[in-house]
């Protein structure tokens, strides 16, 4: 079995970086400061974030279908 890894579209998440923390919580997201490397892979750039860098932790529904494979995952995003 083979598979491909695709980056998430940056434009979809860019507005989140401008939101204050209270608004991020309403969007089910949170701002974090990276404290280890590796450990914070960005799902848009497909690179590890650097220690001290600010990232967002968000939920992403990558399989919205009404099936047993429906899935939402947590992912880190670099600004």
- Residue 30 within any structural domain of the chain: yes
Domain hosting 55: range is 24-78
Domain count, the chain: 1
Q: List Cβ neighbours of 62 (8 Å cut-off, separation of 6 or more).
A: 71, 72, 73
Confidence of residue 9 (pLDDT cuts 50, 70, 90): confident
Q: Model's pTM, two decimal places? A: 0.79
Tokens, residue 63: 């399989």
- Residue 11 within any structural domain of the chain: no
pLDDT at 15: 94
- Residue 39 within any structural domain of the chain: yes
Report d(CA 36, CA 13) in Å as an integer. Answer: 23
For residues 32-59, give the mean pLDDT.
93
Confidence of residue 74 (pLDDT cuts 50, 70, 90): confident
CB atoms within 10 A of CB 3: 5
């Amino acid at each position: 079995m083979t598979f491909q890894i695709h980056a998430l579209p940056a434009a979809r998440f860019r507005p989140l970086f401008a939101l204050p923390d209270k608004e991020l919580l309403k969007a089910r997201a949170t701002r974090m400061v990276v404290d280890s490397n590796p450990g914070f892979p960005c799902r848009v750039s497909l690179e590890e974030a650097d220690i001290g860098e600010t990232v967002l932790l968000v939920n992403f529904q990558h399989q919205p279908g009404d099936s047993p494979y429906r899935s939402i995952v947590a992912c880190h995003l670099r600004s």
